[in-house]
A = this chain, B = another copy of it.
Amino acid sequence: MIRTSLVDGATGAAKRAQFPAGFQQLFTSSSDMAKEGTEIAEETDQMMDLKEPENPVSPVIDPKEMRAVVLTGFGGLNKLKVTKKPMPEPQEGEVKIRVKACGLNFLDLMVRQGNIDNAPKTPLVPGFECSGIVENMGEKTQGFEIGDRVMAFVNYNAWAEVVCTPFDLVYKIPDDMTFPEAAAFSMNFVAAYMMLFEVANLQEGMSVLVHSAGGGVGQAVAQLCSTVPNVTVFGTASPFKHEAIKHSVTHLFDRNLDYVPEVKKISPEGVDIVLDCLCGENTGKGLTLLKPMGTYILYGSSNMVTGETKSFFSFAKSWWQVEKVNPIKLYEENKVIAGFSLLNLLFKQGGCSRVKTAVQKLLSLYDQKKIKPLVDSLWALEEVKEAMQRIHDRGNIGKLILDVEKSPTPLMANDSTETSEAGEEEEEQEGDIDNKERMPFIQ
């Protein structure tokens, strides 16, 4: 059911950053992408005829409407539709963006399931980050002009042709940063940066353990660690990803094995920083692995598919089963435990200016060619289900991107199911990469 995925078309840019051979294989030329883009398919009754827009800023489609991915209710993939929605207009302090690319994060799967605190009501348009071109500004915005190439955080609604979001969540991007790169950049790199350099205090010679080393955050962490001399990165990932990412981390472990003894074999005293996703037993393991003065960070704002979590059900369960920590133990052991949620920081806790500072530092590193977002694959809005399946199955290496202008790839000849039927049937098909377990949807 997983189709051949496209990869970031920014071939030239791929060579800029000095990545090892493993990375280069992940990029193909942009012409491949263009070829795919010429084909248009009608797949479901919710999907519309697509015309190649003549001008990205002024689409020929009805200016009062736009396409968007809509989650009609919490549950399985069948709750996702692409529909027309009224064109949003910027309110005071907002920037209107013609979206080119959107980031897909693990969190979006949790949203789909309703597995988040204070879930908004459905129907809703998912998505927390995008890149595109400024099309208009509301009153009392500053720093932007029509036509600016930008990336932005959005509190939902990113997966659409047009979004409006507060101007202090919008950042201009460098000329040589592609839109898919920009959409892959914001959430993953900001989260990785703030965890490594603000929550923890990454210094020369330290060691970092990161799960899902092949995912968007994992790769951002690996790249940011490489900007500090002599940092050792321990990573866990599915074995099939090891070849592709082995050059980005110092030591790679099979995510299906217990990493604690493996790490201790190499570094008996443990590691300085553990970046952990939201899974119960990993908290204890992570704390065990910490050196004195080490920092354990539980994070969840990014695309991560972690540890023992083989289904959403067990994921949600493990979330709440995290053991509580005795501060006295932290005192005795000189340890630090932290939580990091970029979305809460941005949308609930007024952290915009702090995030902006991090974005500026990251863009400077990008300009210095020290970091470069790794895009796994590009998907049309209509392919959001397949994209979600891919991230669920931990098939991705780097970031999954919804390319708003991309047309859906036609079904492959050997596909036995029509996408139009997938809405109801996918629940049976969505499962772990090895098909050992199906995802128990919450309907």
Interface string of A179-207 (1 = CB under 8 A from B): 00000000000000010001101000000
* Additional A-B contact list (10), CB under 8 Å, known A283-B327, A292-B349, A325-B337: A278-B328, A295-B336, A295-B338, A319-B328, A322-B326, A325-B326, A328-B339, A332-B344, A334-B351, A336-B336
Interface string of A319-351 (1 = CB under 8 A from B): 110111111111111111111110011000111
Any B CB within 8 A of the CB of A7: no
| Protomer copies | 2
Residue pairs across A and B with Cβ atoms less than 8 A apart, 10 shown, are A269-B350, A278-B331, A283-B327, A292-B350, A295-B338, A299-B331, A322-B326, A334-B341, A334-B344, A336-B339
Any B CB within 8 A of the CB of A34: no
CB within 8 Å of B: which of A20-39?
Answer: none
Chain B neighbourhood of A292, CB < 8 A: 344-345, 349-351
Any B CB within 8 A of the CB of A298: yes
- Contacts A201-B198, A344-B334; is A320 near B325 (CB within 8 Å)? no
Chain B neighbourhood of A338, CB < 8 A: 295, 330, 335-337
Chain B neighbourhood of A332, CB < 8 A: 117, 339, 341, 344
Q: Is the CB of B322 within 8 A of A324?
A: no
Q: Is the CB of A334 within 8 A of B328?
A: no
Q: Is the CB of B298 within 8 A of A330?
A: yes
Interface residue from B283, B331, B350, B351 paired with A341 (Cβ < 8 Å): B331
For the complex, give the distance between the alpha carbons of A331 and B325 in Å.
13
Q: How many residues of A contact B (CB 8 A)?
A: 42
- Contacts A199-B293, A351-B292; is A300 near B331 (CB within 8 Å)? yes
Interface residue from B117, B278, B319, B336 paired with A337 (Cβ < 8 Å): B336
Any B CB within 8 A of the CB of A354: yes
- Contacts A201-B198, A201-B201, A293-B199; is A339 near B345 (CB within 8 Å)? no
CB within 8 Å of B: which of A199-223?
Answer: 199, 201
Smallest CB gap from A118: residue in B: B332
For the complex, give the distance between the alpha carbons of A325 and B350 in Å.
24
Q: Is the CB of B328 within 8 A of A298?
A: yes
The 7 closest A-B pairs by CB, nearest first: A331-B339, A330-B339, A292-B349, A324-B324, A336-B338, A298-B331, A298-B327
For the complex, give the distance between the alpha carbons of A349 and B272 in Å.
13
For the complex, give the distance between the alpha carbons of A344 and B291 in Å.
13
Interface core residue of A322, A324, A327, A349 (most chain B CB under 10 Å): A327
Chain B neighbourhood of A278, CB < 8 A: 328, 331
CB within 8 Å of B: which of A256-291?
Answer: 269, 278, 283
For the complex, give the distance between the alpha carbons of A199 and B330 in Å.
12
Interface residue from B117, B320, B337, B340 paired with A334 (Cβ < 8 Å): B340
Q: Is the CB of A336 within 8 A of B199?
A: yes
For the complex, give the distance between the alpha carbons of A333 and B323 in Å.
17
Smallest CB gap from A278: residue in B: B331
Chain B neighbourhood of A345, CB < 8 A: 292-293, 334
Q: Is the CB of A337 within 8 A of B328?
A: no
For the complex, give the distance between the alpha carbons of A336 and B201 in Å.
12
